Structure 1
Amino acid sequence: MDQHSLAAGEPEQLTISTHGLQGILATVPYLLGFHPQQSLVTVLFEGPRVLVTLRLDISRLVDDPEGVEQFVREQLERTEATAVLLVAYTEVPDPIVGERLEGLSIAIEADGLVRDTAPDVMDAVHVAAGRYRSVTCRDTTCCPPEGFDYEAVLSDPAAAQAVVGGLPALADREDLRAAILPGSDDPGEEYDDTLLAMLLWLRGRPPLEVAMEMDARLRQVEAGGRVPQPRDLAILTALATDPHARDVATLRIHRLSAPLWADVWAAAARNTDDLAAVAPLCLVGVAAWARGDGALVCLCLEEAERRCPEHGLVRLLDGVVELGLHPDEWHRMRRESLDDFGPLGPASQLGQEDEEEQSVG
């Protein structure tokens, strides 16, 4: 399951103006990060604001419609969404998909008969063979049986706004995976030598010193505003294996900085493999969560979980995906941690305790 959130109307978040169903459909690939294929996409709204976008393989809708219905209902109740858009994507028109999609729409609409807070179904749309059509509207004056040309969706102004706003839409999910795939780049011997030397340097270092080293390195990256050279990436990767330094890197991520840190840690992941790649993958995942890129969160989780399922950040990302947490939740958690510990995280408190013990002694 892929989930993605885009909140509109807040100072640090992207606002996209859409007009009608075509405009909303135009934003879906940018909400997901790629153009969906063989997928069921569910977009949850709170008024005009997108709360979360969920993607499931279309086979789940065909093979387990009751399970999909239960899952969507749980997400609607948890987010308290006021409206939902259902979109099925298949290569060719599929009557079974159309029937399952219509049944899901009817089931959700039926909730409105028993509770006032049930969300409205904006539409249920089947996209196939270059056309899109509503499976619920029977008015041929507005919804002809043959549907509409999907090329109009791809060229809608809302898509251009998403591109200008920095939201990617790759060809498919595997293209997105390639951007973070561990070991897919060859940084050379200097990277490996620097990584090993830095790992040796970390042995026995006090938490505050390690946290301060990571803080200094991250400040250098922020000053440059771009992905650093492989040697510097190796240093960051080694530091990220330490939980105290990793806290510092995690707290560095907010809405405005998330694109930079997603690029930096993705480069680190591509240059590294095995267990050393887990922390960079998870930090990409946190950055993706912070900017609402749920598809990338899911991919980072898949790759990191395969290598170290018990890692703390892996468990965090697993919760994000399982609960479909909105980026606002990360920013709340981050603010609370900064208020409690500052930018160096819990290591600053450990360092303070060490200083107090020394002064007493």
Structure 2
Amino acid sequence: MLNRYAMVTIGILSLLIAIAAVYGISNFSQTQAKSGQVTVPDYSAQLDSLKSQVVSMNSKIDSISNKLAVLDALKSNVSDIQGKLSDIENKGIQASQTPSGSVSLALVLDKSTYVPGDTVRITAIGVNPLKTVQVQLLDNGGFVIIHKDTWSDSTGKLSYDLQLSNSLLAGNYKVQLMSDQQTQSQPITIGGSSTGQTTGSSSFTAQTDKSVYPTGSFIQVTGIGPVGSSVTGIMTSPSGKTYSTVVTVQSDGSYLMIFSTSQPYEIGQWNIAVTNLGQTKTLYINIGSGNSAGSSTFTAQTDKGVYPLGGMIEVTGNGPAATSVTGIMTSPSGKTFSTAVTVQADFPQYYLIKPGSGISQ
């Protein structure tokens, strides 16, 4: 297209030059006829001007040609950008049409090996928000051993403590989560009961320091539980008024919580619900006079859940003052160990221990 314009321009300039020449010759002939003299006009200045104009026009044409080349390159780049934008837009549409059920469900357990009675602490993300989640324990053959239902929160997260039965056999199992079309699982191993340490034991105990309290006194609850876990206590009065507290099991496996009542003091039987990792123990106390006689509250608990060979087994608890508490410990083979103590009158707590009768092979 540019070459055509250049040719047309040059043609016009040539025509102008020819016309000027013809005009000059004609004018010369007429002048010669009139005057009888031959005069040759000087057109060199005009020709130089025309040449200069032609050069200028050629330069402008070259500039236009270069600019058109740049525009062609820009047009190519714009087309490439439009293609990439279209591709991104299509991918965005596909992503927006992806069903929520395809979000990856991630399941994390606190460990991979457990013993019967342990608690499996389950954490999951990517669950469909506010949906029912089935928590299952499957054996090696795929048979459902434990089935629980819970809910995911509004952000799609789930935290759940799955309590294992003390009667589970050693072997390979699988913890599985199911919600809508989402399914995820993690393998675990359940071994035999540990005999060397209490770490990871799910034993949980709770007892009060007294069975009868005078009005206005502090109520103390102690016990053992898995290290680092939370213990929640809710004390309820005869009329239904509640007092609550939360403590953490210390590194030695023990915990202590203290309740205090407010006026007006209620006389009668109170109960304390103590919960740890889904296990709840309910204690009963009486608040009234300071005399503990006649109370029928009786509790018993060991100081540990698992003992090493040769260890001493300690049992403590509350009972009616001045009454006898008899303990009989029986081994798997049927061998028995027995002892008896008397509950103290001024401090209704007993302490039962088998001195010299540690566990042996």
User: TM-score, normalised on structure 2?
Assistant: 0.20
Q: Higher helix share goes to which structure?
A: 1
Q: Which has the higher strand share?
A: 2
Q: Normalization by structure 1: what TM-score?
A: 0.20
